[in-house]
Amino acid sequence: MTFAWEKAMMTDLFGDRCKEPLAEGAVILRGFALDRGLVDVVSTIAKAAPFRHMQTRGGRQIGVEMTNCGSLGWVSDQRGYRYEATDPLTGKPWPSMPEGFGDLANAAAGAAGFGSFRPDACLINRYAPGVKMGLHQDKDEAGFDAPIVSVSLGLPATFQFGGIERSDPVRRHELRHGDVVVWGGPARLAWHGILTLKQGEHPETGRSRINLTFRLAGYR
């Protein structure tokens, strides 16, 4: 539970020097997710809903390994992309959203200047060295009013961030362990991707990068 006064204090206490504006509606909160034990929580979730390579509509395997928590999870298979309440691998509901995850996403949205954010979906992506995520837009959600909050853990990655048009120029930013990015308003439908992950080893995640993406995927 986060009280309104707590949220206001956290918003103030997270210094402006840790905030890097990317574009209108998009800001990096450097180190916002440090020291919250998130990697251990991801391990617990992955015991119930293992990381897996999903398939694309065209029958190809996605290089990033994925799982989800929350009432909705992002899935991809030969029928396409969508959100589902059930994990197709286990036939069970996705693990529930840990309170610490929801509170972190809400606090990050607040620090970025957005109002109350209670995501129903957390997609968990795992990248091994050599894996990338090509430029795309996130358009599988029921609405685009809410922001998206993303949390980077483990090995650093180069994030590509463009504009609303596929042909808009793209800028690169390094995302490191503990960084949080909040995307909303005019940035919500921006094209984005992750360049091929470089080799490396991180004390908390080993030879991998983990990204948590919090979304309001269903209808309110």
Footprint on this chain of ligand MD3 (rule: CB under 6 A): 123, 125, 133, 138, 148, 150, 181, 183, 187-188, 190, 192, 194, 211, 213
CB nearest ligand MD3: which residue? 211
The burial of 62, by beta-carbon neighbours within 10 Å (0-12 exposed, 13-18 middle, 19 or more buried), is given as middle
Cα angle for residues 125, 127, 132 (degrees, 5° grid): 105
Least gap, CB of 204 to ligand MD3 (angstroms): 16
What is the pairing mode between strands 192-194 and 157-161?
Answer: antiparallel
Is 209 marked within a binding site?
yes
Site for Fe ion in 126-145 (CB under 5 A): 138
Order across the sheet with 26-29: list the strands: 19-23, 26-29, 180-183, 148-154, 209-215, 121-127, 61-70, 52-55
Partner interacting with residue 49 (select from Fe ion, ligand MD3, none; CB below 5-8 Å by kind):
none
State which residue, 108 or 181, has the beta carbon closest to ligand MD3. 181
* Least distance to ligand MD3, CB of residue 2, Å: 22
Among 116, 65, 122, 118, smallest CA distance to 96 is for 122
* Residues 72 and 84 sit within 8 Å (Cβ to Cβ): yes
- CB 194 to Fe ion: min, Å: 9
190 binds, among Fe ion, ligand MD3, none (CB under 5 to 8 A by kind): ligand MD3
Q: Report whether 219 belongs to an annotated binding site.
A: no
**Beta pairing, strands 52-55 & 26-29:** unpaired
Instruction: Select the residue whose beta carbon is closest to Fe ion and give its number.
Output: 138
Closer CB to ligand MD3, 102 or 211, in the complex? 211
Interface residue list for Fe ion (CB under 5 A):
138
